[in-house]
Each structure stands twice: as structure tokens, then as C-alpha cells.
Amino acid sequence: MTKKVGFMLLSIAAATTMMAQDYTNSVTVTGGGYSPMNKEWIDDAWTLGARLGLIEGDTHGLELEYDFINNVDLDNSKGDGDTYGNQIFANYLYHFQDQSEKLRPYLLAGLGYETWTANELDDGGVGAIGAGIKYAVNEWLNLRAEVKDVIRFDDGGQTLAYTAGILIPFGEVEKAAPVAAAPLTSLDSDEDGVIDTKDKCPNTPMGTIVDDNGCPVTTDSDGDGVIDPLDNCPNSKTNQVDENGCPLDTDKDGVPDYLDQCPNTPPKFKVDAQGCTIGVTLYFHFPFDSAEIPSNEFMDVDRVAEFMKKHPEVTAILEGHTDSTGPAAYNMKLSERRADSVRKALIERGIDASRLKVEAFGETKPIAPNDTEEGRAKNRRVEVVLVPGKGQ
């Protein structure tokens, strides 16, 4: 690129910049000149063109360009006489930002293709770099000037193209509706949700629950200590409630504490309406051909023992089972030994032997198919059936 072109580009880019953008597309009609810089066998010519702005953003733009080049003189070995050409470009525009609402300087880069009527000039791809400026006369009309260097890809030929034109914008940017200032009558100085003109308690501390008059709410209809706006159980019949005003259920058995006659029921135990256990079965699983309680089952043994201590009316039936591997007679004895292991563990934890009954079923009552390892593992078990006594 020559010094002449570089100077023109820098001069335009240094101008004051972009207007406030209020349209999304544009059409430009241009006229100008075409001056070869390193192809002396082509003389100067004039051009006519049009641009379609596909994107007219505040900063980034994209447009399609067509230029008709007329009266190009050939005067050497390339040939004699006149020819004309056609150029099509896809251009990217970068607009500079500033506080001015009139001027929009920009830089340009584009790729295109040109054709010529003279056989001596080859058709081919071209590129362009340049700069320009847009001036807003009013909201319906812009003036535009531009200079760019057009470079032929096949032989590196450079041409200075300069144009001026009229730009017509269209496609308005959707603008947000202005936010109206809140009238003085809607002020809420203490931020309690009640405007000052209706607030009969204007200095309520932040976070206080207030009524329609802006005054603190203290009503507790069911008398459980939780005010009505915070009470999720407004008709509770007890003062034993949580922070939401709902009855406490300490052992999580579904029966609130004030109705629970057996308040320490372990988790997973089924209970009646009074919170006391009904028939419950717990499972202890054993390894293959073993009657020793696995270490991971001792927590449940402790839990059963603790429950039976707190509820002396409860008895337990210890039912031993096996899978179908091995002789049936052997499995019957193995199931009895397994049930007896649980019995001994409970006795060691303070449970009277008279409250524990052992029953052996061998392989006769499987709870899963014995043709898979997973099923056999489920069948190697002791079922502890807790039976509530009188008062339970």
C-alpha cells in the first residue's frame, strides 16, 4: 500500500466517531473513482455502486457491495480500447465510538470477486481494506465517504477506489420504555411493604412482619407461640411446636410428641396411632455357610436391644434362613445356628432369654430366587420379628 493510501486511511480513522445508533439496516447509493496504483496500462475510471447493510450495529457492521467500473482504458500490451468491470464484496465494518451523535468513522475489510469485459484482463478474487465516515443529516438520511485499496489476488495489482454516497437507514432498534419515576405518594421509608401515606406505624424495624396498616403483627390464633403469618400449622393443639408452628415429632414416626405414648421408637419401625410399635421385621444377612453376625450388622443388633430395654413388653421371634446351596438337613441346622447367634448377641446386651424365641426354616422360605448370587445373598438371613406386648 502506498503512502498516499495510508495517509488517507489514518486521516479518516482519526476523525471524531460514532453517532448514537438507532437503526439496524441500511441502503447506500455511491459514485466515485477508480485509480490504478501499480498497473499503468489501466487508466483512471469512474464507478457506480450500491451497498446493503445487513447489520448496522453500534460497533460492528456487515454489508454487501456491488460496483460497476466504466470507461477503463487499455493502452499497452494488454490491449487497446475501453472495457468495464463488475465487483462484488462482502465487507466487515468496525465503527469507532465517541460522544458525537453525527459522525461515525469506520474501518473496512472485505473479500470479493471481479469480472472484466476485455479478454486481456482476467477475472478473479479480490480483497479490500479501507476507511470511511458516515454523517447523519437527520434520522432519514446519512452522507457517506470512503476510500479503500483493492488488491487482486492473482497478480497483486492494487487500485485506489474512492466513493461518496447517500445512506438511507431502516429497521429501527427496539427501545426500552422509559421508567417513570415513582411518585412521592408511593415512598416506603421503613421498607415494610406499606407506603408512607398508608403506614400507621412508619418506623417499623426492618424485617418485622406487618399488617395492612404497616403495624407489627402479634396475633397467635392457636396460642402455640408462633405468630399467624409464620404459622404453617395454624390449628395446632399443642405448644410443643417447631419454628413453623407445627407439632414436634422427635422420633420421626409420624405421630406428634403430644400424642406419642412410645416416644423413642427407632427409625423404620411401624407404629400405631399412639406411636407404639406394631409387628416389625428386621433383617440380618450372613455370609455363605456362616453363622457369625457380620460386623456391619452389629449396629442394628444394638438398636434392637436398646429398644427392647425401653419397652420390656416387647418380645422377639428370631427366624433363621439359608439359601438352597447344600443339603436341606444341613441348611436347617445352619439356619438355627444363625438365629441362635442373634439370640446370644441380644442376651449379651442385657435382653432376658425368655423374651427371645428361635425358629429355624432352613431353605424353605426364600425371599428371592436362588439361581443368582444376589438372590442367594438375600436368602442367607435372620428375621427379627418384634411383637408388641400389652401396652404397646
75 touches 81 (CB < 8 A):
no
Instruction: Give me the pLDDT at residue 77, please.
Output: 47
- pLDDT tens-digit map of 346-358: 999 999 999 999 9
pLDDT at 218 > cutoff 60: yes
- pLDDT tens-digit map of 225-270: 667 677 677 766 776 767 676 777 777 777 787 777 777 666 656 6
Phi–psi pair at 298, nearest 5 degrees: -65, -30
Instruction: Give me the pLDDT at residue 10, please.
Output: 44
The string of DSSP codes covering 131-169 is EEEEEEEETTEEEEEEEEEEEETTT--EEEEEEEEEEEE
CATH number for region 3-172: 2.40.160.20
The C-alpha cell that represents 29 in the structure block: 447509493
Name the DSSP class of 228: G
Of residues 83 and 159, more confidently modeled: 159
- The residues of the chain that CATH labels 2.40.160.20 are 3-172
Q: What superfamily in CATH does domain 279-387 come from? A: OmpA-like domain (3.30.1330.60)
pTM: 0.41
Distance CA 47, CA 65 (A): 12
Instruction: Give me the pLDDT at residue 344, please.
Output: 92
- The residues of the chain that CATH labels 3.30.1330.60 are 279-387
Average pLDDT value for the chain: 78
pLDDT band at 14 (very low <50, low <70, confident <90, very high): very low
pLDDT band at 90 (very low <50, low <70, confident <90, very high): very high
Distance CA 73, CA 41 (A): 8
pLDDT band at 18 (very low <50, low <70, confident <90, very high): very low
- What is the mean predicted confidence (pLDDT) over 28-50? 82
Closest CA to 3 of 160, 132, 161: 160
- pLDDT tens-digit map of 313-335: 888 888 889 888 889 999 899 88
pLDDT at 89 > cutoff 90: yes
The string of DSSP codes covering 116-127 is ESSTTS--EEEE
Residues 6 or more apart whose CB falls under 8 angstroms from that of 297 comprise 284, 285
Distance CA 5, CA 161 (A): 10
pLDDT at 371 > cutoff 80: yes
Distance CA 226, CA 240 (A): 11
Range name among 45-49, 165-169, 219-223 with the lowest pLDDT average: 219-223
Instruction: Give me the pLDDT at residue 147, please.
Output: 95
pLDDT at 17 > cutoff 50: no
Range name among 37-41, 148-152, 190-194 with the lowest pLDDT average: 37-41
- pLDDT tens-digit map of 125-151: 999 999 999 888 888 899 999 999 999
In angstroms, what CA-CA distances link 68 with 65, 78, 253?
Answer: 10, 21, 89
Long-range CB pairs of 364-369, under 8 A, 24+ apart, other chains included: 365/321, 366/321, 366/323, 366/324, 367/321
Range name among 63-67, 154-158, 371-375 with the lowest pLDDT average: 154-158
Instruction: Give me the pLDDT at residue 253, please.
Output: 72
pLDDT band at 7 (very low <50, low <70, confident <90, very high): very low
314 touches 280 (CB < 8 A):
no
pLDDT at 85 > cutoff 50: yes
Instruction: Give me the pLDDT at residue 1, please.
Output: 44
